[in-house]
Structure 1
Amino acid sequence: MSSASPTSAAPPASAVSSWNVRRLPGARGRVVLVTGGNAGIGYFVAEQLSATGATVVLGSRDPARAELAMASIRARVPGSRVRAVRMDLADLSSLPAAVEALARVLVIERLDAVVHNAGVARDEPTRAETGDGHELMFGTNHLGHFALTRWLMPLLSAAPAARVVTVGSFAAKSERLDLGDLQSRKDYRPGPAYGRSKLAQMYFGMELDRRLRTARSTVASVVVHPGGALDSLTPSRPPLHVRTTGAALRAAPAALLVQGKRAGAWSAVRAVLDPDVRGGQLWGPRVFGLRGEPRPERVWKHLADASVAARLWDASRDLTGIDPDPGAR
């Protein structure tokens, strides 16, 4: 699975320059699932996609927070089609039922896109595990989405040109995977463990596209990252997020280099909507990869290593007992 995707070329310059993050194309009739759509970047992805007329489903492990997020979106986007399904990526055994609820309870027959956004970021120095015994950040951020993709593939394949959009992190650029210690048992530090979990997600998104192309699937996989996205530069969405005047003033100098989470959502939103985006691409903010409107980036050198991606895929399959490879069925 080491061949490059035939669709990984950058879009024409005219397509890149013509995109307007504040004037998005209509998407009425499309259905998009956003994992972790009840908070942070995922919330703003959901809010922005809702404004296009798409049906947006928030995948959230906390139904109460999902209700608050839906109320916030409906208040800002009159007539929005936003719904929620309970989804806990740290509990792999629960995911088939979550997808069943998506299909049968919400009566969704196809999925035009999934935004793999949900994630856990821990500051605590002690290592924690999911109920399945996986390191919490690696198990949730990577293995949860790896397994979820397997159960979503029939719904994605039912759409004419579906997309799997994986939200990585700029922090992953400076990290490297230790394939002999994916669970951080020998070397656990919360910051690097988070960065490696996001890097694993990004490797998965790249490898998934290679396998989709081999299987001649109509589904494409795109990897994005939000750059530097700070709460202190993020507009308020009470009660989900409240930015005080003091916090906004203190953060003002940082806006020269980074941005808030509303802008951090732009790359994922474009990856869902723009017909010129291609599978196997990496998209991020225009200015040093940290802020600004989205653009295609050269795939980071370590992320382009297909042999590491394939080995990670095999390890993830062994850890979960699940294989999302479209050619494996």
Structure 2
Amino acid sequence: MTWDSGGRGDGKTVLVTGASAGIGYFAAEQLAAEGATVVLSCRDTTKADLAIRAIRARVPAARLLSVRSDLADLSSLPATVDALGVECLDAVVLNAGVLLSEPERRVNAQGHELMFATNHLGHFALVAHLAPMLTAAPHSRVITVGSFAARSELLDLGDLQSERDYRPKRTYGRSKLAQMLFGFELNRRLAAQGADIASIVVHPGGALDALTPSRPPLFVRTTAQRLRGLPAGVALHGKHAGAAGIVRAVLDTEVAGGQLWGPRIFGLRGRPHRETPHAHMTDLEVADRLWAASADLTGVDPLRRPARRDHRR
């Protein structure tokens, strides 16, 4: 399938979480270059401002907005959505994530393990709060950004929050698997309701900083980094390339709900193409139980409009 992206973003409004760094930044930059109005959803407002400067240096006519969001704090999300200032969203890119390396298990304000809370629960709840805006736009899309790391993990439904056995890399991989399970299950449930919203899952492959071009003042790749990254370029690519699948999932009308897209070469580098998801990513029973647990932990359901809160109190 060939694809010409030129101008397909005109008139669209897209929210990208974690847009101040890495793959989220490049997704925002590339979507802005295609004419979309991009809302950068970031926890750090200073970094969001730097990202906007970097995008406008390359796309002077970019239409950009920013909103502060902390996916790790579920109680903050209704106010974040209220602050968007838009009536409808053509797409939301669930990209923000955290990968911890320290051996101590950390929790968020609600007591949930931090990687599972940020990467999965925060996005699960965000989609619930954004549902009216997504419903208001024709043919809207939810793009879940998974990870190659999810291929080698299985969810422990009895220990979703790694309370009994916490290992940072495994917990991260399971949080990304949870995201991907959610993305596929969301599409099944939307289709069953006849909703005009598609849920698509994307992963960026092996995306390295050393293979990523500089975007000052946000990110500057040194000569030493570039040289160290050259050998890896045989098998991996930069974060700008990893973002290409996200942009295609947002804009290409031939990409359909329920599909998985990733890099063409061994799932690690190259242009995006459609992949067949591994069976554990689409397990119906696991997805159903994960959905129920997520709704219980967050207090919201993406297919049931949450009650509005009076933030003036």
* TM-score range for the pair, normalised by the shorter chain length: over 0.9
Which among 226, 248, 253 is matched to residue 226 of structure 2? 248
The equivalent residue for 2:285 is: 307
Q: What is the aligned-residue identity percentage?
A: 63
1:156-175 equivalences under 5 Å are: 156-175=134-153
Question: How far apart are the structure 1 equivalents of 2:176 and 2:160?
Answer: 12
Q: Which amino acid aligns with 2:16?
A: V
The equivalent residue for 2:311 is: none
Deviation at 1:326, TM superposition (A): 4.9
The equivalent residue for 1:12 is: none
1:2-13 equivalences under 5 Å are: none
The alignment's TM-score, normalised by the length of structure 2, stands at: 0.96
Q: Is the 8 A contact 1:120 1:141 kept in 2?
A: yes
Q: Is the 8 A contact 1:41 1:265 kept in 2?
A: yes
Structure 2 residue ranges without an equivalent (≥5) = 308-313
The equivalent residue for 2:255 is: 277
Q: Is the 8 A contact 2:128 2:305 kept in 1?
A: no
1:157-236 equivalences under 5 Å are: 157-236=135-214
Deviation at 1:26, TM superposition (A): 2.9
Q: Pick closer, same or farther for the CA change 1:210–1:243 going to 2, 3 Å.
A: same
Measured against aligned partners, the alpha-carbon deviations of 1:209-252 in whole angstroms (never above 9, x if no partner) come to 01101111000100000000011111111222111111111111
The equivalent residue for 2:295 is: 317
Q: What SS class does the counterpart of residue 83 from structure 2 fall into?
A: helix
Q: What SS class does the counterpart of residue 108 from structure 2 fall into?
A: coil
Number of paired residues? 307
Alignment of 1:76 with 2:54, yes or no, is no
Measured against aligned partners, the alpha-carbon deviations of 1:138-195 in whole angstroms (never above 9, x if no partner) come to 0000000000000101000001100000000001111110000000011111111111
Deviation at 1:322, TM superposition (A): 1.0
Q: Which amino acid aligns with 1:56?
A: V
Alignment of 1:128 with 2:106, yes or no, is yes
Deviation at 1:24, TM superposition (A): 3.6
1:97-112 equivalences under 5 Å are: 97-102=79-84, 106=85, 108-112=86-90
The equivalent residue for 1:57 is: 39
Q: What SS class does the counterpart of residue 114 from structure 1 fall into?
A: strand
Alignment of 1:41 with 2:19, yes or no, is no
Question: How far apart are the structure 2 equivalents of 1:218 and 1:237?
Answer: 36
Question: How far apart are the structure 2 equivalents of 1:250 and 1:327?
Answer: 49
Q: Is the 8 A contact 2:16 2:94 kept in 1?
A: yes
Measured against aligned partners, the alpha-carbon deviations of 1:28-75 in whole angstroms (never above 9, x if no partner) come to 110000000111100000000000111000001111110000011011
Question: How far apart are the structure 2 equivalents of 1:327 and 1:239?
Answer: 40
Measured against aligned partners, the alpha-carbon deviations of 1:260-313 in whole angstroms (never above 9, x if no partner) come to 100010111100000000000000000000000000100111112111111100
Question: How far apart are the structure 1 equivalents of 2:306 and 2:274?
Answer: 30
Q: Is the 8 A contact 1:90 1:139 kept in 2?
A: yes
Q: Which amino acid aligns with 2:227?
A: L
Once structures 1 and 2 are overlaid, which stretch shifts more, 319-328 or 307-316? 319-328
Q: Pick closer, same or farther for the CA change 1:258–1:146 going to 2, 3 Å.
A: same
Q: Which amino acid aligns with 1:68?
A: L
Deviation at 1:328, TM superposition (A): 9.8
Q: What SS class does the counterpart of residue 164 from structure 1 fall into?
A: strand
The alignment's TM-score, normalised by the length of structure 1, stands at: 0.91
Alignment of 1:32 with 2:14, yes or no, is yes
1:290-305 equivalences under 5 Å are: 290-305=268-283
Q: Which amino acid aligns with 2:13?
A: V
Question: How far apart are the structure 1 equivalents of 2:226 and 2:305?
Answer: 49
Question: How far apart are the structure 2 equivalents of 1:169 and 1:58?
Answer: 21
Question: How far apart are the structure 2 equivalents of 1:327 and 1:66?
Answer: 29
Deviation at 1:315, TM superposition (A): 0.6
Q: Is the 8 A contact 1:38 1:69 kept in 2?
A: yes
Q: What SS class does the counterpart of residue 228 from structure 2 fall into?
A: helix
Q: Which amino acid aligns with 1:19?
A: W
